[in-house]
Structures are given as structure tokens and as C-alpha cells.
Amino acid sequence: MSLLMQRKGPALPLPRLDGKEVLVGPDPSIAKVKGVMFGGRKQFLTDVGGDEVFYSVLAKLSPRSLQYTRTPLASSWCEFESLIELDRAIYDTLHAKYPNVLALIGAASAELGIGRVYKSLDTVELVKYMENIALFNSQYQKFGRVKFEKTASGGKMIFTDYPVYSPIYCASGAGYFLESILRHGGTEPSVVETKCQTLGDSSCTYEMTWK
């Protein structure tokens, strides 16, 4: 289970789900994400609610998205549209119980990717991890560019040139970064998306701080 999910204390701010959504874009061949993201969500659903919750989410999906989720193929490319359909179905199923379920989905992905938990803050490793996210972005999504900038009290992750976007995707991204900070031993993590392409900004910029 992700550290974000186990965390006591002040509730996270609720996701902002307004904003524009583009699911296919002008070039559908690049509107794709890696199958491993579906695998992470399957794991999350099974951990949180067992088969019952997993199958109730599957029942809401169209055939293609259902197939990606039931039998995820980690290295295959899958339509962004299907990932958003899945995340929306998860949100509809679980947000009454977990208002921040989208952040928890992102956290589960970071948990899978990082594995270990650092006992105390290792800023060097955390910054290296963030830089690698930027470096290997194209292995996880076929679109957009990303750059990480270190700041005095944390860092900034800046995503640009998205032909497809959704506030649902941005909300899970915030959870991904929160979990990344927590697993590297950071305390009092804060992740705020201060600019967003779904609101017409030229980037999705996550400003992160930790102690």
C-alpha cells in the first residue's frame, strides 16, 4: 500500500476536475501511454477493494479499455483515452470512500516504480529520481516534453506540448509526485499544479516542496 494511502494527518486538497479535456488529439498515433499504467491501477483496485471492486470498475468500461485493464501488458502502447476512461470509472466507484482516489492511483504507480522506502530524506536520490522521470518520460507516454528544475526547497516538474490532456490525468500526477517524495524520506510534502494545460496554460507545472 502506498505511503500516501497510509498517511494520517491533514487531508489532501481535493482534485480540481474542471478544465478542458482532449482525449485523442490531431495525431492519434501519439496519444498513447504505456500498458504498465493499467497494471498499476489493477493492482491498486485489487489492494483497495479486492475482486469485487475490480470487477465493478471493469463493468463500467468499453471493450478496449476493459481488455487493457483486465490483462495489462506492461510494455504495450495503449490509448490515452482508455486510461482516462478507466480513471474516471475508478473515481466514480471510489470517490465517496476515498475523495482523493486519483492521487492514490498516482501514488500506487510511484510505489510500483520505486519499491523501496528511504528511512530519512535523501534529497540527492530524490532529485535524481525526478530528473530521471523527465529523462525517461517518452518511455511512458508518446507525447509531450518534460523538464525538471531544482528549486531552493524542492523542485518544479514542467510538462509541455501535450496534444491530449485531462484534469483526471493531472490529478493522478500530483499523487505520483507526493508518493515519490514520501518514499525518498521527505516529510511535509507539498505538490501543487500551479499551471495546467487543461486551463489553457502552456504547461502543466507541478511545484513541489519537501523537508
Interaction site with Zn ion (CB under 5 A): 170, 196, 204
Among residues 17 and 73, whose Cβ is nearest to Zn ion? 17
> Cα separation of 49 and 89, whole Å?
14
The least CB distance from residue 144 to Zn ion, in Å, is 11
The least CB distance from residue 86 to Zn ion, in Å, is 18
The least CB distance from residue 162 to Zn ion, in Å, is 8
Among residues 43 and 160, whose Cβ is nearest to Zn ion? 160
Among residues 82 and 198, whose Cβ is nearest to Zn ion? 198
- What 3 state SS string does 47-105 have? HHHHHHHHHHHHCCCCHHHHHHHHCCCCCCEEEHHHHHHHHHHHHHHHCCCCCCHHHHH
Element (DSSP H or E) covering residue 195: strand 190-195
33, 53, 78, 164, 165 from 160: Cα distances, Å? 16, 35, 20, 11, 11
> Cα separation of 109 and 88, whole Å?
16
Q: Could you count the other beta carbons within 10 Å of the beta carbon of residue 118?
A: 14
Among residues 153 and 202, whose Cβ is nearest to Zn ion? 202
Among residues 45 and 87, whose Cβ is nearest to Zn ion? 87
> Cα separation of 21 and 49, whole Å?
29
The least CB distance from residue 156 to Zn ion, in Å, is 13
> Cα separation of 175 and 207, whole Å?
13
The least CB distance from residue 197 to Zn ion, in Å, is 5
Among residues 122 and 201, whose Cβ is nearest to Zn ion? 201
Nearest CA-CA partner of 86 in 205, 172, 198: 172
The least CB distance from residue 199 to Zn ion, in Å, is 7
> Cα separation of 183 and 174, whole Å?
14
